[in-house]
Each structure stands twice: as structure tokens, then as C-alpha cells.
């Protein structure tokens, strides 16, 4: 059996490769318009990262990207790029690819510039989320860490370096993305600056069961969510009596739990969280 | 038999053969003009010159639409979004990708005959990514506009290039995304680039040689009437592109073409005045390019509301008189009815939510603006959005129901103004927009509208939203899609949904219908593939 298989492989594999590659070439005539040399040669790291590159990237950004992402990258019809969160890939290579070719099934088309300009845009986009900076904070991060784990039960819903819940944003590099004021406001009143990925939805089935969670997707006929127990759920709308999308975050406001020194300490801890 | 006689006989035989060849392989102007008599084929972008997108095939109807089955899928070689309207001629389908690949397919099976790829430079100034919406056909030649602003003629049997003409300069932001239109021996194409301060034009090329026959600018030059509607030299960078396919009335011998936004889009301070002929529809004589009449929907637009919709031509009794009419559901949220012989404005009525105008003046057709709705530094909330209440995706009209069908969107947006300085090949927009809320907060719906009154007869809501074109059929159906990847068939009388399928990729294109193997088919592009449906074979 093994022998037959390997014999088959000997015969068919080269033929298959030939066939695939010749077919690829037919498509490749189109692909050459889409895939740049950098992709073909698999450049993984950004070779253009100087301050001058960032400035050059900013110019290309204003020319080719600002229509949807806003002149300062804070978003428009397209998402805010200043948060350091890139849903379709965060590596240099992923950013390069997405800027060059666009992202299927989104409004994002590619831009048509030489590879160097695209790398410069990657540098500029990265500079937007270098964020957090090194602001002075009052609190004690070590005590904040203790509060995070105990009184806050924060890890029930938030993830830190691979452990914790999934109902809130991953906080592993929060200090890199967010200023202390923003972190503080998000604790005391989480609904104010809610991320579009964390919209709350509540559905009631015909049997009267209520399921709350994060809205994942919706069309005319069905709705998908991550429920409060972190189950991925999908409902046909014909089976639902009601769908509610409250403007409130799933996270309760914690102003009464954390104030004064406690709040300062928790903010100091969260602000200290940076990528490794 | 004398030699002379032999020659005559041979010549006659040759002529006969040539005649039958052209009948098999070529599409004549007469066929294009009479496309209504040839419902098995889909011969041009909007189906017929009147752009009704009305298929006269009747096999698929209200009674059996629920039985539609997937017949074939064809994956197209692209990373972009398909906006193509395929053509079908004698069971051969011609479809395009955003990066200007053309494929000829067997319309029965989706199997490929040939594929052509236009080579594109790696530097293009495009506001909104690469797009292509289809080809035109004449004889056995195809015509495609390209995103690097070429017009290419291909052999329909092989995909070989016959000629390749530069229409514009891509480095200045000029591009072509729309399907061209063939009228007699002319190939008519518009130009895109309204976000780059181009000066829009419409061109006609010799279908045989690719030579330019005429160019008509949409913005009048110095000394021409209308130039005074631009402050200073702002006309030179005023936009008004012609980036969508128009319509044609063979009896009146008039082309109708919509024009896009004035540039810069959101900063009107550098171009005070009405900015003619941006956001307008132009009636043009195809042999000369002469502008016969114009109508401007949004004078001095500051919201990017291109009149890029496809004008639908139909005849009906209006106000006690049989009239040649044009229905135009504009991006600015008003539905307009015009007399297409004279350009006379008949009425306008809201077909989607809007907050920018008290209404349209019944005498002049001009909007009565609500004050303080211009973009500002702090953001001004206005409905409709930049994308508009409608956009390029085609509406449809059914002569059977007498209804006009449109994908309408009721959303609003924050409009910001910024400085704008023209630099060749750079975005020249003077601002931007931000959504005021999540897309599903607003209604996106197919609406059936009485084009003689503007009355809304029904609506079919599509969540979260739809930006697909529509197709009406003599079987009493309206087909459409959604960004959620759903393809549906509605009852054209009531809007009731009769059938739907999930295709798993955004639908941005418009459906077509054709006949192959004696059966009616419906094709739609979704995601990166073409999907074709038919009733179960007997």
C-alpha cells in the first residue's frame, strides 16, 4: 500500500505541481498586479522605519488613506488606527499585505504605491499607536495588580498574556495603547468609550430564555454572539421574540468599587502593561 | 461557366459564409438597440439602452422561485471586490475583476474559455481601491476601461488585444471603473478621479481603431456658459467625473450620463458658485459630443453626492400626456422625474431619510437647503451619508408593475471640513466623514417606488446593509444581494421574500439573467466568485 502510494506520489506530484504552477501562471498574470515583489520575496520586517520614513508615510497616508481613516488616523468610515489593534493582522508583513492588497469583504481596497512607500505607511501607522507614552501616574502599580486580581475580579472578563476571560478587551499591552485618563474613565464608566467590537446584545427566545453577550454578527435572518458564559451562539431570528442592543457595556461601572487611591493604583498597574 | 461567372458565384458563397459567421459570432448595433427582443442574452451593462435592468425571461417566476438551485460557481482571480455585471452572448459569459482581468466562460457550466489580464503599473492614485464593473461588446470585440485609464479592445473569441488606447493619465488620479457603452461605431467611456481634482469628461472612440472621435468636458471652460459658476480657476480642478455608465435613447439619439462631485469634495469655500455641471445629468448627442441639455441635482455640493446613478428611461402617461421620462434616484436622497426629451424637471421626492433640504423647489428643481448643514471643523451631522442614500449600484424598473426599485440607506454621518490644496495625483477632498453610529442602527432597504408620484409601495429591509444592484424580471421578481452575502428574490408587486441563499461573500454587484441550454439562469458576483442559479433541470 505504502509503495503504491509513494509510486503514485512520484508520478503525480511533479505533474500536479506542473499543472498547478501553469494554472497559477494563468492567474499569475493577474496576480502580478496584486502581489508585489516584497510579498513574493517574503520580506517580513519593515526595512523603512526612520523618522524620515514616518514622515514620508504620513504624506502617503494623507493622500491615500485619510479618506476613510481620517486625516489623523483616528477613523472615519474606516476604523481608528491609533489604538494599535489591527484585526486583520498586526505583524509588519500583515500590515504591508493589507495596505497593498486591501482586505477582502471589507471596505478596504489596497493602495497602489511602490513597496517602499507602503513600508513607510506601515511605519507611520505604527507611530500612531506608540500611544501611552510615559506619563507620570500617581498610583502604586504593585497594589493595583493585587486589586486587579482580587476586588476587581477583572480577569473574569479580561485577558492578560493568554489567561483570563474573553468578554472584555485583552489588556496585555493596554499601557502602550491608552493614556491613563482613558483607562481611568473606562473603569468608572465603561459605556462612554466602548469599542465597536464589544457591543452588548440581549436576545429573548420564543420560550422566554434571555441570552446576553457580545454581538459578533447579524444579518436579516440570523444573529451571532458570544454569550456571558463565553459560548458562541447563533440564533435564527424566527426563533426569537426580541433582540435588544443596549448602549451599555457588558462591564458594570466600577466607580463605587474603585475611587481615590484604589483607582490610582489600578490605573497605574494597567498603564504599566506593555508588550514584551 | 465563364471565369467571370465563377467569380460571382464564389463571391456570393463567400458573402453567404461571411453573413452566417457574423450572425453566429458578432453583436450588431441593431441587436444592441433591440436587446429587448433578445432576452436570452445580456448584451450591455444595464441590459438595454434604457437601463431598466429588466429581464424579459419568464421561466423563473413567483410560483417557482423558491426552487432555485445553484448551477455553478466560478472563482475569479482577485483579492478585490467583484462589482462586475457580466455580459452573456450566445451562452458565452464575459466577466471582469477589479484588477482588469476579463474571463470568457461557458454560461452553462462556468468553465473558462480564456482569461486576459491587463498589466497595471504599481503606482495608481485611486480613492477607493481598484474596481471594474464590466465590458461592452460590438461585433466580436469586447471593450474594457481600466483603472490605469486605458480603453482596451479584445477579441471576444480569444482575449487577444486588438487595440489599447490611453484615455487619461493615471498619475493625475484618472481611472476608469465603469463598463463602456457602444453606440453604432462608437465606444463611449467616462472617467473617474473626482477625489483628485481632475476635470471630468466624456469620450467617444472609434470602435474599430481606438481613435478619439470627441471629448466633451463636464466643466465648461473659459468663455463657455457655466464657467462663471466656478470661482477663479477652481474649474480646472473641479472634478465632475463621469465614473458610471449612462443610458441611451436611440429614438431621440441622446446619451444620458451622470456626473460626479465637484472637487474638493467637502470644502466648498475654494469653489464658490453652483459648480456646473457637477452632480448633474447631461444629455449628449453621440455623433458629436454636443451637450443638448443638462440638469443639476445638487448645486454647490459639499457632501460628495455624485450623480453617479444609472438613469432609467421609461415612457408613461404623466399629467395627462404620454411622455418620455427619466427616473433618477439621487445620492442626495431625492427621487427625480425628468422629461428626457427636454430636460424639464417634473418633480422630486424623498426616497430615503435626509436632513439637508426642506425640499426641492417645484419650479426650478433646486434644493431648498436647511441652514448650517455644510461640513465644519467640529463635524456636522447630516443625512444621508457620504456614501449616499443611493450610489452607483443599479436600480431597476419593471414595465409590468410600473415600479422603480432602489437600494436605499437612511443613515447619517458627521461631515468634517479641512483645507484643500491641489497637487497633481494627490487626494483633493478638503475633509472627511465619520459614522455617527453602527451601520445596523439605520435602515437599509430595497424600496418599490411609483416613479410617477414618488410614493413608496413597499420596502424589504436588509441587515446590516445592502450596496448591491437590482434586477427585475418579467416573472414578477426582483433579485438583489447584501453585504452579509445574501442573495434574494422578492415578489415585485409586494416586496415579499420568496427565496434566499447565503453566498458567504459581500454582494456588491448587480444580478443578470440569461438563457443557456434552454433554461433561464440568474448570475450574481459575491465575494470573489460568480454564482449561477436555475430551476432544477427536468
Please, what is the end-to-end C-alpha distance for chain B in angstroms?
A: 55
Q: E strand or H helix at B155, and its extent?
A: strand B150-155
Check residue A79 and give its pLDDT.
81
Structural fold of domain A141-193+252-271: Cytochrome Bc1 Complex; Chain D, domain 2 (1.10.760)
C-alpha count within 13 angstroms, C-beta hemisphere, residue A156: 10
Say yes or no for a CB contact (<8 Å) between B101 and A30.
yes
- Using a CB-CB distance cutoff of 8 angstroms, which residues of chain A are in contact with residue B128? 67, 109
Distance between CA atoms of B72 and A159, rounded to whole angstroms? 45
Query: Chain A residue closest to B438 (CA)?
Result: A196
- pLDDT score, position B10: 47
| Residues of B whose CB is below 8 A from A39 | none
Beta-sheet strand order (sheet of B334-339): B312-318, B321-329, B334-339, B345-350
Q: CB B125 to CB A64 under 8 A? A: yes
Q: Return the C-alpha torsion angle A127, A128, A130, A132, nearest 10.
A: 160
Whole-angstrom CA distances from B457 to B263, B402, B409, B465 are 37, 11, 16, 20
- If you ran DSSP here, which 8-state letter would residue A253 be given? P
By the CB < 8 Å criterion, does B418 face chain A?
yes
Span A196-244 CATH architecture: Roll (2.30)
**Alpha carbons B307 and B279: distance in angstroms, whole number:** 5
For an interface test with B, which of A20, A26, A30 has the most B Cβ atoms less than 10 Å from its Cβ?
A30
CA separation, residue B498 to residues B42, B52, B506 (Å): 24, 22, 21
> In terms of CATH architecture, what is A43-128?
Orthogonal Bundle (1.10)
Q: Which pLDDT score, from 0 to 100, does residue B477 have?
A: 98
HEC letters along B351-370: CCCCCCEEEECCCCCCEEEC
* Residue contact B126–A109, C-beta within 8 A: yes
A29 or B126, greater pLDDT: B126
Residue of A nearest to B379 (CA): A76
Those residues whose C-beta lies under 8 Å from the C-beta of residue A99, and which sit 6 or more positions away, are A110, A111, A118, A121, A122
User: Does B473 lie at the interface with A, CB-CB under 8 angstroms?
Assistant: no
CB contact under 8 A, A112 and B418: no
Query: Which residue ranges of chain B lie beneath pLDDT 70?
Result: 1-25
- Least CB-CB distance to A110: which of B129, B426, B432? B129
Which residues 99-118 of chain A have a CB within 8 Å of chain B?
Answer: 101-102, 104-105, 108-114
Residues of chain A positioned with their CB less than 8 A from the CB of B500: 221
Q: Which one of B79, B96, B407, B425 would you mutate to disrupt binding with A, by most A Cβ within 10 Å of its Cβ?
A: B79
Q: Write down the pLDDT at residue A19.
A: 37
Asked if B77's CB is within 8 angstroms of A221's CB, the reply is no
Can you say whether the dihedral through the CA atoms of B25, B27, B31, B35 is positive or negative?
positive
Strand partners, B396: B405
Find, in chain B, the residue whose alpha carbon is nearest to that of A62.
B427
Question: What angle do the packed helices A51-64 and A115-128 form, to 10 degrees?
Answer: 100
Task: Identify which has the larger pLDDT, A139 or A24.
Answer: A139
pLDDT at A31: 41
Contacts of B143 (CB under 8 A, 6+ apart): B135, B136, B137, B151, B152, B153, B154, B180, B182, B187, B189, B207
Query: Is B115 in Cβ contact with A26 (below 8 Å)?
Result: yes
pLDDT one-digit tens code per residue, B313-328: 999 999 999 999 999 9
Q: Is the pLDDT reported for residue A69 higher than 70?
A: yes
Interface contact B484-A219, CB threshold 8 A: yes
Give per-residue pLDDT as tens, A178-229: 888 889 999 999 988 787 789 999 999 999 999 999 999 999 999 999 999 9
Closest-CA residue of B relative to A110 is B129
Residue B206 belongs to some domain of the structure: yes
How many A-B residue pairs are in contact by the CB < 8 A criterion?
Answer: 118
Kindly indicate the confidence band of residue A24, based on its pLDDT and cuts at 50, 70 and 90: very low
Cβ(B326)–Cβ(B337) below 8 Å: yes
In this structure, is residue B110 part of a structural domain?
Answer: yes
Distance CA(B392)–CA(B329), nearest Å, equals: 10
Q: pLDDT (tens digit, 9 = 90+) per residue, B127-166? A: 888 999 999 999 999 999 999 999 999 999 999 999 999 9
Q: Which of B171, B423, B432, B481 to substitute to test the interface with A, most A CBs within 10 Å?
A: B432
Q: B387 CB near a chain A CB, below 8 Å?
A: yes
The answer to whether B122 faces chain A, any CB pair under 8 Å, is yes
Structural domain for B173, as ranges: 45-534
Q: What pLDDT is recorded for position A214? A: 95
C-alpha span between B143 and B102 (Å, rounded): 10
- Across chain A, mean pLDDT equals 81
Name the residue among B117, B130, B505 with its Cβ closest to that of A109.
Answer: B130
- pLDDT category of residue A127 using cuts at 50, 70 and 90: confident
Q: Is A105 within 8 Å of B527 when comparing Cβ atoms?
A: yes
Q: How far is CA A262 from CA A140, A172, A187, A268, in A?
A: 9, 20, 12, 10
CA distance B175 to B242: 10
Instruction: Answer yes or no: do B120 and A112 touch at CB < 8 A.
Output: yes
- Round to whole Å and give the CA distance between A150 and A152: 6
Start-end ranges of CATH 1.10.760.10 in chain A? Answer: 43-128, 141-193+252-271
Question: Nearest C-alpha of chain B: how many angstroms from A110?
Answer: 6
What are residue B271's phi and psi, to 5 degrees? -145, 55
B482 lies within 8 A of chain A by CB: yes
Q: Which of A220, A223, A240, A247 to mutate to test the interface with B (most CBs of B within 10 A)?
A: A220
Number of domains in chain B: 1
- How would DSSP label each residue in A15-29? HHHHHHHHHHHHHHH
Q: What is the dihedral of CA B532, B534, B536, B538, to 10 degrees?
A: -120
Cα–Cα distance for residue pair B489/B373, rounded to 1 Å = 38
Long-range contacts of range A144-151, CB-CB < 8 Å, 24 or more positions apart? A144/A265, A144/A266, A144/A267, A144/A268, A144/A269, A144/A270, A144/A272, A145/A269, A147/A258, A147/A262, A147/A265, A147/A266, A147/A269, A148/A266, A148/A269, A148/A270, A151/A257, A151/A258, A151/A262
Residues of chain B found within 8 Å of residue A220, distances taken between Cβ atoms: 461-463, 482, 484, 486
Using CA atoms, how far apart are residues A75 and A66, in angstroms rounded to an integer?
A: 8
Q: Is B304 on the interface with A (CB under 8 A)?
A: no
Q: How far apart are CA A100 and CA B342, in angstroms?
A: 47
pTM of the model: 0.85
Question: Quick check: B127 and A67 CB within 8 A?
Answer: yes
Residues in A closer than 8 angstroms to B81, CB to CB, are 104-105, 109
Q: How far is B391 from chain A (nearest CA, A)?
A: 15
Amino acid at each position: 500500500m505504502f509503495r503504491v502510494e509513494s509510486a503514485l506520489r512520484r508520478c503525480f506530484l511533479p505533474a500536479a505541481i506542473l499543472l498547478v504552477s501553469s494554472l497559477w501562471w494563468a492567474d499569475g498574470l493577474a496576480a502580478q498586479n496584486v502581489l508585489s515583489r516584497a510579498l513574493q520575496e517574503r520580506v517580513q520586517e519593515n526595512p523603512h522605519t526612520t523618522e524620515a520614513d514616518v514622515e514620508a508615510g504620513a504624506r502617503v497616508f494623507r493622500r491615500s488613506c485619510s479618506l476613510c481613516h481620517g486625516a489623523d488616523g483616528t477613523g472615519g468610515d474606516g476604523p481608528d488606527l491609533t489604538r494599535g489593534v489591527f484585526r486583520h493582522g498586526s505583524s509588519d508583513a500583515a500590515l504591508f499585505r493589507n495596505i497593498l492588497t486591501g482586505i477582502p469583504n471589507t471596505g478596504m481596497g489596497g493602495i497602489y504605491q511602490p513597496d517602499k512607500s507602503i513600508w513607510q505607511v506601515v511605519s507611520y501607522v505604527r507611530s500612531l499607536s506608540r500611544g501611552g507614552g510615559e506619563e507620570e501616574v500617581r498610583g502604586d502599580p504593585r497594589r493595583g495588580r493585587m486589586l486587579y486580581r482580587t476586588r476587581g475580579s477583572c480577569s473574569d472578563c479580561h485577558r492578560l498574556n493568554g489567561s483570563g476571560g474573553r468578554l472584555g478587551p485583552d489588556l496585555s499591552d493596554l499601557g502602550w495603547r491608552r493614556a491613563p485618563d482613558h483607562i481611568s474613565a473606562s473603569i468608572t464608566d465603561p459605556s462612554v468609550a466602548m469599542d465597536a467590537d464589544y457591543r452588548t446584545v440581549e436576545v429573548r427566545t420564543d420560550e422566554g430564555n434571555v441570552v446576553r453577550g457580545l454581538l459578533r454578527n447579524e444579518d436579516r435572518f440570523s444573529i451571532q454572539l458570544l454569550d456571558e458564559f463565553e459560548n458562541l451562539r447563533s440564533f435564527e431570528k424566527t426563533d426569537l421574540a426580541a433582540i435588544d442592543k443596549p448602549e451599555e457595556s457588558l462591564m458594570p461601572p466600577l466607580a463605587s468599587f474603585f475611587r481615590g487611591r484604589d483607582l490610582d493604583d489600578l490605573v497605574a498597574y494597567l498603564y504599566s502593561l506593555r508588550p514584551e | 461557366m465563364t471565369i467571370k461567372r465563377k467569380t460571382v458565384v464564389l463571391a456570393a458563397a463567400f458573402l453567404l459564409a461571411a453573413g452566417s459567421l457574423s450572425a453566429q459570432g458578432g453583436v450588431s448595433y441593431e441587436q444592441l438597440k433591440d436587446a429587448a427582443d433578445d432576452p436570452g442574452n445580456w448584451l450591455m451593462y444595464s441590459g438595454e439602452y434604457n437601463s431598466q435592468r429588466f429581464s424579459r425571461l419568464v421561466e423563473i417566476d413567483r410560483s417557482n422561485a423558491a426552487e432555485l438551485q445553484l448551477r455553478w460557481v466560478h472563482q475569479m482571480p482577485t483579492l478585490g471586490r467583484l462589482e462586475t455585471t457580466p455580459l452573456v452572448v450566445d451562452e458565452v459569459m464575459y466577466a471582469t475583476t477589479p484588477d482588469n482581468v476579463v474571463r470568457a466562460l461557458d454560461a452553462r457550466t462556468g468553465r473558462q474559455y480564456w482569461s486576459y489580464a491587463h498589466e497595471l503599473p504599481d503606482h495608481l492614485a485611486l480613492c477607493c481601491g481598484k474596481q471594474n464593473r464590466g465590458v461592452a461588446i460590438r461585433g466580436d470585440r469586447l471593450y474594457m476601461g481600466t483603472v490605469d485609464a486605458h480603453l482596451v479592445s479584445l477579441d471576444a473569441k480569444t482575449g487577444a488585444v486588438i487595440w489599447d488606447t490611453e484615455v487619461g493619465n493615471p498619475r493625475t488620479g484618472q481611472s476608469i471603473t465603469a463598463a463602456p457603452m457602444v453606440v453604432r461605431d462608437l465606444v463611449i467611456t467616462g472617467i473617474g478621479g473626482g477625489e483628485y481634482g481632475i476635470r471630468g469628461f466624456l469620450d467617444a472612440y472609434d470602435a474599430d481603431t481606438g481613435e478619439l472621435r470627441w471629448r466633451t468636458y463636464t466643466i465648461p471652460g473659459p468663455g463657455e456658459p457655466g464657467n462663471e459658476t466656478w470661482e477663479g480657476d477652481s474649474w480646472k480642478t473641479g472634478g465632475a467625473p463621469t465614473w458610471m455608465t449612462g443610458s441611451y435613447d436611440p429614438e431621440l439619439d441622446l446619451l444620458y450620463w451622470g456626473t460626479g462631485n465637484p472637487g474638493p469634495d467637502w470644502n466648498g469655500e475654494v469653489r464658490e458658485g453652483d459648480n456646473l455641471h457637477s452632480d448633474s445629468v447631461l444629455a449628449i448627442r453621440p455623433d458629436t459630443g454636443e451637450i443638448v441639455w443638462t440638469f443639476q441635482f445638487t448645486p454647490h455640493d459639499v457632501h460628495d453626492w455624485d450623480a453617479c446613478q444609472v438613469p432609467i428611461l421609461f415612457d408613461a402617461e404623466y399629467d395627462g400626456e404620454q411622455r418620455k421620462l427619466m427616473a433618477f434616484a439621487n445620492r442626495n436622497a431625492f427621487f427625480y422625474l425628468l422629461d428626457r426629451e427636454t430636460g424639464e424637471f417634473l418633480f422630486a421626492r424623498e426616497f430615503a431619510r435626509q436632513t439637508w433640504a426642506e425640499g426641492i423647489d417645484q419650479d426650478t428643481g433646486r434644493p431648498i437647503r436647511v441652514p448650517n448643514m455644510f461640513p465644519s471643523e467640529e463635524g456636522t451631522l447630516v443625512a444621508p451619508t457620504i456614501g449616499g442614500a443611493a450610489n452607483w449600484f443599479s436600480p431597476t424598473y419593471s414595465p409590468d408593475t410600473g415600479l422603480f426599485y432602489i437600494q436605499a440607506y437612511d443613515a447619517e454621518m458627521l461631515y468634517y471640513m479641512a483645507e484643500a490644496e491641489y497637487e497633481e495625483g494627490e487626494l483633493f477632498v478638503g475633509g472627511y466623514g465619520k459614522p455617527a453610529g453602527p451601520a445596523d442602527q439605520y435602515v437599509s432597504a430595497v424600496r418599490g417606488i411609483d416613479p410617477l408620484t414618488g410614493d413608496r409601495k413597499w420596502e424589504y429591509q436588509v441587515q446590516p446593509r445592502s450596496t448591491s444592484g437590482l434586477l427585475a424580471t418579467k416573472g414578477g421578481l426582483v433579485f438583489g444581494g447584501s453585504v452579509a452575502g445574501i442573495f434574494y428574490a422578492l415578489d415585485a408587486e409586494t416586496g415579499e421574500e420568496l427565496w434566499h441563499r447565503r453566498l458567504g461573500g459581500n454582494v456588491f454587484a448587480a444580478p443578470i439573467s440569461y438563457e443557456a441550454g434552454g433554461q433561464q439562469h440568474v448570475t450574481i458576483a459575491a465575494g470573489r466568485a460568480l454564482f449561477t442559479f436555475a430551476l432544477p433541470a427536468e
